[in-house]
Amino acid sequence: MELPLPCPLEAGWELVRTIKLPRTLADGRPLGGFSAAAYQRNEDRLWLLSDAPVGHLVPWGGLAQWLEGQRDTLWPGRRVLLRGGDGQPLPETFDGEGLVIEGRQAWIASEGRRSNDRRARLIQIDLGSGRLQQELPLPQAWRATPGQGLGSNKGPESLTALGPGDLLLAAEAPLAQHQAGDGISLMRRRSGDEIRSAGALDGGDIGRHNGLTELLALPTHKQLLGLRRGFTPPDQWTARLQLFALPEPGGAPVQPIIGWDLLEAGLPPDNWEAIALGPVLSDGRHTLVLASDDNFNPLQSNWIVVLSPRRTTACTD
């Protein structure tokens, strides 16, 4: 199986296309805050998760057609509000950060603030109605208790699928009970099982505005791409993509195999938070789709970019 990776890895990434999304929908409602993405290849539909005060999903149609030059732009479909089991919109304290779509269901990870009213959550919703189907309890090590658990606004930040019903979650920074050298904690939930520890990734440069913003499992499910965001006030952004082997539970934090500077690849400097496998182009090239979160800040933008791995003539399928 061909992986959506450069060959050799040092060849890096080609920027295929860039688009700045509008800040409002046709009815005037604000558009932005995109913190996660998922692409449905058969439907040619890109879903973006917004962490707006009223959390919602926005589907964008025609991504492959846009990449092939058959359409000038992307267009948003009907947004899906995230709702509780009673049908009411989830409270403003719900801060969606990770997204996995399986058929007509979506798994969403919500970041917490170390309080009962703003707890970290993993929920499943119906993709048609947005209504809550179930909520899975997070493991004890991640729960906010004195001296323990996920930091405030530090996860779960990432969510990816290793297979049907097989979910991998990641924090954004080390847990309160850990040191920086303990790395970024991962948790895994196999279908029908509890959420359990799944090892750790090297934490790298962790700070208030720096951290792991998304994970993407590659098709073999043995490697991960990690998206890392950095910010230095007032307006300096960094964005790196790193390749990891899948960690082992209880093992030392896994070091990145290689990393790529995405700003050098041509991405606009901004708050990059979302990554998904994209369409396969007509010439056979695989793609990645990345989206930025504008934080509803007029100094930032909602970007979508598509990258394709470079392959030299020395590489074969």
Is the confidence at residue 97, as pLDDT, over 90? yes
- At residue 235, the pLDDT reads 86
Q: Which CATH class is domain 9-309?
A: mainly beta
What pLDDT digit, counting tens, does each position of 4-18 carry? 899 999 999 999 999
* DSSP string across 76-106: E---EE-B-TTSSBPPTT-EEEEEEEETTEE
List residues bridging with 307 in a β-sheet: 15, 288
Dihedral pair phi/psi, residue 39, rounded to 5°: -120, 130
- At residue 208, the pLDDT reads 60
What pLDDT digit, counting tens, does each position of 241-260 carry? 999 999 988 888 999 999 99
Beta sheet of 158-163, edge-to-edge order: 158-163, 166-170, 184-189, 195-201
Mean pLDDT confidence for 124-149? 93
What pLDDT digit, counting tens, does each position of 31-75 carry? 999 999 999 999 999 999 999 999 999 999 999 999 998 988 898
- At residue 316, the pLDDT reads 66
What DSSP element (H or E) covers 101? strand 95-102
Return the domain boundaries, the chain: 9-309
- At residue 180, the pLDDT reads 66
- What letter would DSSP give residue 128? T
CB neighbours of residue 262 within 10 Å: 24
Q: Which residue has the tokens 């979160």?
A: 293
End-to-end CA, the chain: 8
What pLDDT digit, counting tens, does each position of 175-216 carry? 888 876 788 999 999 988 889 999 999 967 665 667 899 999
How far is the CA of 141 from the CAs of 109, 147, 173, 215, 251, in angstroms?
Answer: 16, 11, 14, 20, 16
